[in-house]
Amino acid sequence: MTLTQLSYIVAVDKYRHFATAAQKIYITQPTLSMQIQKLEDELGVLIFDRSKSPVVPTAMGEQIIEEAKSILSGAKHIEDMVAVQGDSLKGTFRVGIIPTIAPYLVPLFLKPFIDKHPDVELIFEEALTSEVLKGLNEDYFDVGIIATPTDQNIFEKDLFLEPFMGYVSREHELAKKDRITIDDLYQEDLWLLNEGHCFRDQTIKLCKKNNEKLNKSPIMFESGNLETLKRLVEQDFGVTLMPYLALNDIDKRCANGVIKNFKDPIPSRKIRLVYSREFLKQNLIEAFAEVIKDSIPDDLRTQEEKMVIE
């Protein structure tokens, strides 16, 4: 029995599919299947019921998987203790980050971090907030980057405030305004992200913030991707809200949509670094947060906390 084999059964339990699990942990499916079969033969029990789709653990398999998680957590704890010794930062650092932040924030700080800490192996995985928190509790992620508070036993470190921005088609009435207000949103159907995305929930909260009697649901179309919403607006279809960084790299001379700032008080969301262990990799967590703060645009360093939408 090896730690590698234990990690394989945990992966299959997580994804409930051999091919998907193999893909996620970057090995071939035959290798994954062979190692799990070898472990089952050694233990003399079936860990997974392969006749079911999706695959499920057997009753004994569930107990084995829980023990495997505990053993892997202990092994990771030992690795972490060794990694934080000395002055230099090193080791693997796995980051869970929500999809409405990842493509816009990571490119800003990735190279500066690697240049400053070349011995740290960064691994990023996009996941919804609930999945990030679950991964932290299971010691799958070292840290997470999310945009909502959590009432779980999780440590939080504020990174920056990110304003909401309006993005409207050139022919839309709001394109004529210098700045938009929350009241403008009451009259509009908005393009929104799918359920499960915190930015969707925050957008709906913002639209209803000062109007508790608002019965109309501000949903016109749903997508799992902010870039899809941008493209819809640019085809002269309606209005959407975007986080600041999603519009930060748009060339306004070439964009087919129009970016609109909010009048004061400017609504914003708070981007947080979250982690479940306060004592392990603390120096690495501090260094990670420092590079992120140093890499964001100057506008985000001076944001005032006037209307944070949680």
Q: Residue 173 in 3-state DSSP? A: helix
Question: What does the pLDDT read at residue 309?
Answer: 87
Q: Which residue has the higher pLDDT, 187 or 17?
A: 17
CA separation, residue 28 to residues 18, 63, 80 (Å)? 10, 26, 28
209's CB contacts (< 8 A; 6+ apart) are 182, 307, 309
b/e map 257-281, b = 16+ CB within 10 Å: bbbbebeeebbbbbbbbbbbeeebb
Encoded tokens for 10? 């945990």
Place of tokens 């960084």: 245
DSSP notation for 101-163:
THHHHHHHHHHHHHHH-TTEEEEEEE--HHHHHHHHHTTS-SEEEESS---SS-EEEEEEEEE
Please write the tens of the pLDDT for every residue from 100-132. Answer: 999 999 999 999 999 999 988 899 999 999 999
Q: Tell me what pLDDT residue 213 has.
A: 41
pLDDT band at 41 (very low <50, low <70, confident <90, very high): very high
222 pLDDT more than 80: no
Reported pTM: 0.75
Q: Could you tell me if 224 and 193 are in contact, meaning their C-beta atoms sit under 8 angstroms apart?
A: yes
Mean model confidence pLDDT for the chain: 84
255: Cα separation from own chain's centroid: 27
Q: What is the Cα–Cα distance from 9 to 2, expressed in whole angstroms? A: 11
Bond before 265 cis per omega within 30 degrees: yes
Measured torsion, CA atoms of residues 152, 157, 158, 164, in degrees rounded to the nearest 10 = -50
pLDDT value of residue 78: 77
Tell which wins on pLDDT, 270 or 199: 270
Residue 214: its pLDDT value, please?
43
Is residue 238 within 8 Å of 232, Cβ to Cβ? yes
- Taken in order of first residue, the domains within the chain and their CATH numbers are 3-77 (1.10.10.10), 91-160+269-308 (3.40.190.10), 163-268 (3.40.190.10)
Give, in degrees to the nearest 5, the angle at Cα 168 between 160 and 103: 40
Quick one: what percent of the chain has pLDDT higher than 70?
87
| pLDDT for the residue numbered 219 | 47
pLDDT higher than 80, residue 18: yes
Q: What is the model's pLDDT at position 191?
A: 77
- C-alpha to C-alpha distance for 81 and 71, rounded to whole angstroms: 16
Q: Of 189-203, 206-220, 226-240, which range is least confident? A: 206-220
Strand partners, 158: 272
pLDDT of residue 288: 94
Asked if residue 146 lies in contact with residue 272, where contact means CB atoms within 8 angstroms, the answer is: yes
Q: Mean pLDDT over residues 8-24, rounded?
A: 91
Under the banding of pLDDT at 50, 70 and 90, the label for residue 293 is very high
Q: Average pLDDT in the 2-23 region?
A: 92
The encoded tokens of residue 167 equal: 């993005």
Q: 201-205, 221-225, 262-266: which has the minimum mean pLDDT?
A: 221-225
Q: Where are the alpha helices (DSSP H) in the chain?
A: 3-15, 18-24, 29-43, 59-83, 102-116, 129-137, 182-185, 198-208, 226-234, 244-248, 282-295, 298-301
pLDDT of residue 215: 45
- Res. 218: pLDDT tops 70: no
pLDDT class of 153 with cuts at 50, 70, 90: confident
Lowest mean pLDDT among 165-174, 200-209, 258-267: 200-209
Predicted pLDDT at 176: 87
Name the 3-class secondary structure at 241: strand
Looking at this protein, which amino acid is placed at residue 37? Q
Q: What is the predicted pLDDT for the residue at 206?
A: 77
